[in-house]
Each structure stands twice: as structure tokens, then as C-alpha cells.
Chains A and B, each alone.
Chain A
């Protein structure tokens, strides 16, 4: 009972430590490393919170594909952050105030793992029974994802498709249009 809570608290504290290290890091490759470690610990956290499918997705997508994407982008980018002496007090104050308000509100949230909290009352028992009797898939997450909430998943695929097309359109090597724009600029400058 209490050991589950202890495991959760420990893991989440490790994630906080990694986050603080992220705040202090300067070189970009160190940041990417820390993000990878952060995703790893987050997925273990998902397992201890009983979200097995989410942990699977986070492990393969969050820790794997994200890291490789960051690295592939970093190959074309400058490797070090410039030491800027700008004033960071204003963003810090905003974040602290917002965090304080959120923590103040957290006293009204239900305690972790209470079976009587409102989220567990409404529609979930029907889904669990329906998944056993009507659909017949043992994994409830799959049956909700593909059957009860099928249109959401359809919309998700549309979003991913749009993002893929947008990435291709942005990264397309369109030197012709660039040269056209530059020549137009020159025409304007020369009068």
C-alpha cells in the first residue's frame, strides 16, 4: 500500500533532479542526453502507475524516436549555446507564481489512488464490462481506442499525416523560389 506510493514518490523525485540538471546545462548534446534519460524514467513511472500501453509507447516513441530526431537535427545546427547575459528574472518570477498557484490548487485534488474519486465513477465501469462482454478484446485500452473512441484515433492519424506533409514542405530544397525572392529584393533595392 504505502510502498507503491514510496516508489512513485522516489521516481518522480528522480525526474525532478533531471529537470533541475536540464535548467543548468549549457551544451546542447548534454541537454539531449538528459532528455533521453528523462523519458526513460518517465516510462518506468508509467509502469508503476499501471499504464502499460503508455509506457510501451513512451519507451519506443519518446525515448527512441525523439532522441534520434533531436540528434539528426543537431547534426546541422551549432553545437553550443551562446552565453547570453540577458535578464532571466522576469520569466522565473512568472514560473514561480504560476507554480505556487497550481500547488495551492492541488489541495482540492483527490489523493492519489483513491477509488472513490470522481474520475472513476462515470463511464469507465461500462467500458470495462463492455470490453469483456461486447467486444471481446482482453486489453481494455485497445478496445476503447479502436472502438469506443475510434473517431479520436482517426483524427490523430490525420494530425500525424498533416505534420509529416508540413515537415516535407518545410525541408524541401526550394532554391529556385529562394533565388527568385532574392532577385526581387535586389530589384527593389536598386530601384
Chain B
């Protein structure tokens, strides 16, 4: 049983690590703000979700689980707000997305 729990946790951690590394590479590689928001979202959702799931599996059922769930809920509510505010403000301040034909969209 212990081995099974450890295996599940390891799988979750592997997926989470993959998510945050892909997200960080995206932050470096992608060309402008609007596309980098996708990468940041990858870190905020995929990374935290998998890591917190792995730690919940590891900790069993106790107060720690509740705290982990609280962290997850906070990040899940605050991350979209931050992304939305950033994108909205960047559009207002006149940053043109890469590859947009001027006058077509928006």
C-alpha cells in the first residue's frame, strides 16, 4: 500500500514538474505578453494542481489536507483574475499582439 501511494505521488510530482518547466520555458520563449499569459497559466493551474494532489495523497487525511486544499482554492481563484487584469491593461496601454493584422480583430 505504501509503495502504491509513493508511486501515485511520484507520478503526480512528475506531471507537475513537467507542467512548471514547460510553463517557465514558455515564459522565456513566447514572443509577447498575450501569449506569455498562457505559459503563466500553465504554471498556475497545471503545476499547482498536480503538486497539491501529490501532497494530499502523501499526507493522508488530516489538517494538512485542508490547508493544502485552501492553497489550491486560493491560487485557482486568484490566478485567472491576475491574468485577466494583465491582459486587459496591456490591451488598453496599446500593446499590439504579434501577428495581428491591424484593423481586423478587436
User: Does chain A touch chain B in the assembled complex, meaning CB atoms less than 8 Å apart?
Assistant: no
